[in-house]
Structure 1
């Protein structure tokens, strides 16, 4: 896939994920603008957000009372966040030992280096399913709107 000329002259078949997602987003936003232009609201109602929610108690359950994620997914997420917290803590400890000097490794560099493998692993595990689900939902939405 790499071009010996430094990437120049790559074909349309070799677009990056960002380019593909940008083109999908542009197509969706163009369709939304042409399908149903927003009608100006003649009522200039002002929404005041002054009602306070008491800090005690739980938030109301969503419609249907189902959990948003399964128990195993919640446990895996908690484990991932615990690992992230530990990595950040270890990075902070290491950062305290580093002398402050020009040209040295910054905390940002350390965090980036520690998070990159974790992010890569997560993306490898979850991105294909996410993309497949979103594309499937978009195709269903487009096919429903085409029938109307």
Structure 2
């Protein structure tokens, strides 16, 4: 029993050893905290999967080929040996001549005497023929002429004089209608000749 008591510490010794341990712990400086290890470098980004990108986006289908153009008509195709004639250029219009004589407008024509639908000759022609025949009958009878003064009332009248009397009114009417324009045309021609001589 004595050996067992000597070997086992008493309560006081246990408390004293606890106090000693606590005091040693408080007197000793606290250990320096260890520096944290540096953070590991970030891992490099993975390369983009090229094959995956092309596989993810579907390729559009190729456009259909355009239809072939229609062949041109054979009539419109010109061969290299064909010769196209040159179109003649239009001639320029002549410039108005400043010295040209402009004739006045022709006078209005007189309307012919009215005629009936049933009559073949006009009243003027009938009157002239009637006077001629009356004068001729009077000349044969040797009596006075119905036309008054003129060659028909004379005894020495000839056929030419009778024709002259009959043609005179017709000739007068023709001259009244055509003489002004005829004179204007002749005067214009002479003026043009004078102008050409002056320019030459």
- Give the TM-score range, shorter chain: 0.3 to 0.5
TM-score of the pair, normalised by structure 2 = 0.25
What TM-score comes out, normalization by structure 1 length? 0.33
Greater relative contact order (CA < 8 Å, ≥ 6 in sequence): 2
Bigger Rg, structure 1 or 2: 2
